[in-house]
Structure 1
Amino acid sequence: MGDAEGTRQVLAAKFQAVFPHLDERQRRLVMGAEARSLGHGGIRLVARAAGVRDATVSLGVDEMDAGAEPLGRVRRPGGGRKRAADLDPGLLPALLALVEPDERGDPMSPLRWTTKSTRNLAGELTRQGHRVGADTVGDLLRAEGFSLQGNAKALEGQRHPDRDAQFRYINEQVKAHQDAADPVISVDTKKKELVGQFANAGREWRPGGQPVLVNSHDFPQDSSGKAVPYGIYDIAGNSGWVSVGTDHDTAAFAVESVRRWWNAAGRDEYPQARRLLVTADAGGSNGYRTRAWKAELAALAAETGLEITVCHFPPGTSKWNKIEHRLFSHITMNWRGRPLTSHEVIVQAIAATTTRTGLRVRAELDDSTYETGVTVSGRQMDALPLTRHDWHGDWNYTLRAEPYDQDAGAPDPFDQPSPDLAWLCHPALTGLPAAEWGALTATLMTLHDQQREASLDKRRGHRPRIKAGQGTGRRPVLTLADRLLATILHYRLALPQVAIAALFGVRPETVNKRIRDIRQLLDQAGHTIQPGPHRLASLDDLHQLAISIGITTQPEIKTAC
C-alpha cells in the first residue's frame, strides 16, 4: 500500500509540472501511457494522481490502442540547425576516404600511422577544412554502417589444397579407433611460462585495494626457471594429463609425456587396447618433419606393444587440435590473475582444473634433462618399423609394435674413421705405424676439444651453459679420423680436394675447412706430414695404389687402424 501511495505522489508531481503545457488530448495520452506502464490497477492510480475520472484515463488508453495518427511535429518544416553533412557536402566523402580499409589518399598523412579515433579523425578533417567535432564524426560513421572492430584471428597462412581432405581423414581414423575401443589422444605443448613473481593475465576476486604485487618487468634472469607444460588430452574420456617440464621442449620430452600418461592412466582406462591414435600439430617437438619424434615413438611402441598411429593437422591449422580448446584454454582460465611462483604452484593449478562437462586433469612435474640437437641419421630412419599411409604419408604414419635395431644409425666414434673408409688407415698410405696413428689421434682429440670450446666461447661471448660431459648429440659430418685421413691424402699423396670430397661424400668446401682445422692442430702437436713417394690425381689412382700394395678397399672389409 505504501508503494502505491508513493507512486501516486510521484505521478501527481509530474502531472502538476507537465499538464499546464498540454492540451486535453495530450493530457489523456500521457495519463494513458502511465496507466499502461503500471499494469493492473494503473487506471485508478493515475486518475487519483491527476484528479480526474477513471473514464478519462481509460479514454486515453483506448486512444493509444486505437492507433490514431500521431500528433506530429509542432515546429514548422525546415526549422532547427542543419546537419553538418548537409552544410558541408564534402565532409562525408572526406571522412570515408580516411577510414577506407585501403587507406586511399596521401601516404604521408600522419593519420595513416595513428589510431583512427573519432577525435583524431575530427582533427584531420578540420585540418582539411571541414570543421567538425568528434561526436559528429561518430554519428556519421554509425550512419554509414561503421563500428569499432577488433582484429579477427582467421588467416591461416597459405591454405594447403588437401587441408579439408586431411581433416576428413583424421575424423575417419578417430572413428575407427574409438569404435574398436582404442584410445585417441590429442597432444601439444602449451605456452612456456616463466616461474616467479610475474604478472599473469586475467583478474580474480580479492579485497579491494589489495592486488597481488608482482615484478614490473618479465626478465628471464629474475625467474626461478621455466615451465614447459606438455599436454595429452583423451578425447573419449574427456581427461587430460600434463607433464610440466623444467628443461627443453624436445621430441624425447614429448614422447616421455605420452609414456607417463599411458603408464599412469591410459593403461588402466584401456586395458584391451592394441592401438593408439595420436593427433598432433604439424610443427614443434611433435612435428611431422621431426625425425626424433618418430624414433622416440618407435621405441615407445616396442616398449608398450601398442601400434601407434600419428595424424598431423595441416600446417597453419593448430587451433583445430582438440587439446587447444578442450584442455589448454581451461587451464589458462583456471590460473588467470595468479602469479606462477613455483613449479609446485603450476602443477597444482593445472591439476585443479575442471569444467561443468566433467573434465579431469592430472599433472606431474618432470625435472629430467633432455638433450637438444639430437639428430637421427638416414640409416636410423630406415631401421624404424614405420609404415606411411597411402594418403599423405608425411602427415599420416604408423609405428609398428615390433623390435628393431636402435643402434643402426649410431654415430661413428669420433676418433675412428667411417667404417667403409677404414682401409685408408693402412700404414702404406698414412706413413704412420698403428701405434703412432693411435697416439696422434689421441693428441688431436684433446687439442680438438680445446679448439672447439675456444671457438664457441668466442662466438657466444660466455662460457658454455652445457654441463661438462653433456654433448650436443649431433652426428659429425666427418669424424676426427676422417679429417686426419683427408689431410694426409692431400699433403702426403697430393690427392685433389675435389676427389677427397667425392671419396667422403661431402662438399669440397667442407673438406677444405676440415683440412685447415687439422693443419692447425698438427702444428700445435708439432707433427709434420711428409710428402710420400706417390702423387695421385684421381680416385682411380688411389684405388690402383691400394690394390698394388695389397689393400682391400671393399666397404664390408674393415682394416684396423
Structure 2
Amino acid sequence: MSDLEATKTRYEVLGPLLDERLLRLWAAREARAIGSGGAYQVAAATGMSLKAIQTGLGELDLLEALPDGLPLTPVPGRRSNGQRSQPRVRLPGGGRKWTEDKDPTILPALELLLADEVAGDPMGRQRWVRSSLRHLSERLAAQGHSASPTTVSRLLKGLGFSQKSNKRKLGAVGRCPERDAQFLYIAAQRQTFTAAGLPIVSVDTKKKELIGNFRNGGRSWCRSAPEVDEHDFPSKAVCQAVPFGVYDVTKNAGFVVVGTSYNTPQFAVSAIARWWQAEGRDAYPGADRLLILADGGGGNGSRAGAWKVNLQERLCNRHRLTVTVCHYPPGCSKWNPVEHRLFSQISKNWEGQPLRSLDLMLGYIRGTTTRTGLRVSAELDDATYPKGQKVTRDDLGKVSFKPHADCPIRNYTISPQIADQQA
C-alpha cells in the first residue's frame, strides 16, 4: 500500500473522531513522517487544505519546543479585540458566513445577469458565459450586492459553470462585427415582450436522428448493454427523423415536432403554427404579438425568402399574429435558449438508448423533465415538405415585412394582412 493510500485509510478511520485542532496536528504529524512534499500528499489524500496542514506543522513545532510541565504557549490565530487568541476549536457555525448566506438575493441577481449571456452545448452538459468575473462583480456591486471576482467564481461553479480552454475548430466563421449589438437588442426585445406578458419562443432544428437499431451516444443504467447494428447505414434505417423544437422561454415549456421529410422553411413554420394551435393561444389568451428567437441559417434562416413567405401565410394571416423575429449572429447558435434548455435535456434523456422507432423517440422527448420544471410535448408530422421552394420577388413583395432600425437583416416584424391585401 502506498503512503497516499495508507494516509487516506487512517484519515477515514480517525477523521470522524478528532476535533478540528487534533485533526490538524495529526495531519501535520503524517506530513512530517512522509518527509519532503508530505504536506501536499496529505492534502491530496484527505482533502484538507494545505493551509490547515501548514498551520498544524507550526503548532506541532511549538508543542515540541515546550519543556515538560510548562503551560501551552498561545499559538497565533485569529485576532479578537486586538489580542491573539488561545488555541481553540470553533463551535458549530463558527467562522465568517458565506456571501450567499449574508445576502440571499445575490444568487437570483447573478442568475438574472446571466439570463442573456448563457450558452451551452446542446449535446452535452457544458455551459459558459460571455462576461468576465470582474465585469459580473462590478454589475452586482451596482445593484447593491458585494461580491469579489473570487466569490463570483465560486457562485458560478455552484450554478454549474466552469472554465474551459479554447478549442480550435476548422472552418470557424469570423466574428460578426455587430455581434454584441445584436445580443443587446435581443435582450431588449425579450424584456419588452416579457413586461407586456407576450409570448417569446426560441426555435431551431435538432440534430437529425436515424430511426432503427443503431448506436446512440452516451451511457445508461442497465443490466446488459443493448445490442445494435455494427454499422449505421442510412439505407437500413426506418426513416430519418427531423426534430424541430419550439421552446417557450417564459413558461419553460418545450414543444417538439418530429418530421420525416426535410428541414425546410415550410416545415419550420408549420411546427411553430402547430405549437400556437396546441399550446400557445391557450397559454397566452388575447395575445396578438409573438417574438421568435432563431438562428441565422437552416429552414429558419434570416436570408431565406421562403421562411418569410411561410410566416406570412401560415402564421400571421392564419392566426392573426404580428410576428417579430430576431436572429442570432453567425456562430452564436449555442446562445439560442432552445439549444441548452431543451435540446440538451432531450439528448441526456435518451443517451445510450437506441431509437428503434418513432414512437420510442417521441416517448423519450415527452419524458424529458428537469428540476426547474421543464415539461415537453411532442407530435409527429409525417407530411412531405419538398426542398427548394421557389419564391419570386412578387411573392416577397406581398409580405407585410418591416425591418427594424437596428441590424435590419436580422430583426424584422411581419404583420397579418387584411383580406383585400391577400387577394
Tell me the TM-score range normalised by the shorter chain: 0.5 to 0.7
Equivalenced residue count is: 277
2:327 maps to 1:327: no
Aligned counterparts, 1:33-112, within 5 A: 33=29, 64-66=60-62
Q: What whole-Å deviation, never above 9, does each CA across 1:23-64 have from its counterpart, x for those lacking one?
A: xxxxxx999947x99xxxxxxxxxxxxxxxxxxxxxxx9982
SS of the residue 2:291 aligns to: strand
Is this contact kept in 2: 1:226–1:246, CA < 8 A? yes
Q: What whole-Å deviation, never above 9, does each CA across 1:265-324 have from its counterpart, x for those lacking one?
A: 001100021100000000000000111100010111011111000000011111110100
TM-score normalised according to structure 2 size? 0.61
Measured at CA, do residues 226 and 320 of structure 1 come closer, stay the same or move farther in structure 2, by a change above 3 Å? same
2:266 maps to 1:252: yes
Measured at CA, do residues 317 and 367 of structure 1 come closer, stay the same or move farther in structure 2, by a change above 3 Å? same
Whole-Å Cα distance in 1 between the matches of residues 27 and 422 of structure 2? 95
Partner of 1:262: 276
2:290 maps to 1:294: no
Letter in 2 for 1:194: L
Whole-Å Cα distance in 2 between the matches of residues 354 and 386 of structure 1? 37
2:361 to 330, 335, 346: 346
Letter in 2 for 1:375: K
The two structures, once aligned, show a CA RMSD in angstroms of 2.9
SS of the residue 2:276 aligns to: helix
SS of the residue 2:281 aligns to: helix
1:157 to 173, 190, 214: 173
Q: Which protein is richer in strand relative to its size?
A: 2
Letter in 2 for 1:359: L
Is this contact kept in 2: 1:383–1:405, CA < 8 A? no
Partner of 1:215: 229
Partner of 1:303: 318
Structure 1 residue 407 displacement after superposition: 8.1
Letter in 1 for 2:323: I
Runs of 4+ residues deviating >6 angstroms: 29-32, 404-408
2:256 maps to 1:242: yes
SS of the residue 1:181 aligns to: coil
Partner of 1:283: 297
Partner of 1:137: none
Letter in 2 for 1:355: T
SS of the residue 2:378 aligns to: strand
Measured at CA, do residues 249 and 406 of structure 1 come closer, stay the same or move farther in structure 2, by a change above 3 Å? farther
Whole-Å Cα distance in 2 between the matches of residues 222 and 190 of structure 1? 22
Identity of aligned residues (%): 47
Measured at CA, do residues 297 and 153 of structure 1 come closer, stay the same or move farther in structure 2, by a change above 3 Å? farther
Return the structure number with greater relative CO, CA threshold 8 A, min gap 6: 2
Structure 1 residue 406 displacement after superposition: 8.7
Measured at CA, do residues 30 and 269 of structure 1 come closer, stay the same or move farther in structure 2, by a change above 3 Å? closer
Structure 2: tracts of 5 or more residues without a match = 1-9, 11-24, 34-56, 66-163
Whole-Å Cα distance in 2 between the matches of residues 272 and 62 of structure 1? 72
Whole-Å Cα distance in 2 between the matches of residues 346 and 298 of structure 1? 31
Letter in 1 for 2:285: P
1:398 to 409, 413, 420: 413
Whole-Å Cα distance in 1 between the matches of residues 294 and 391 of structure 2? 20
Measured at CA, do residues 192 and 68 of structure 1 come closer, stay the same or move farther in structure 2, by a change above 3 Å? same
SS of the residue 2:187 aligns to: helix
Structure 1 residue 232 displacement after superposition: 0.3
Letter in 1 for 2:322: E
SS of the residue 1:227 aligns to: strand
Aligned counterparts, 1:436-451, within 5 A: none
TM-score normalised according to structure 1 size? 0.46
Q: Which protein is richer in helix relative to its size?
A: 1
Partner of 1:185: 201
Measured at CA, do residues 390 and 212 of structure 1 come closer, stay the same or move farther in structure 2, by a change above 3 Å? same
SS of the residue 2:243 aligns to: strand
Structure 1: tracts of 5 or more residues without a match = 1-10, 12-28, 38-60, 70-148, 409-561
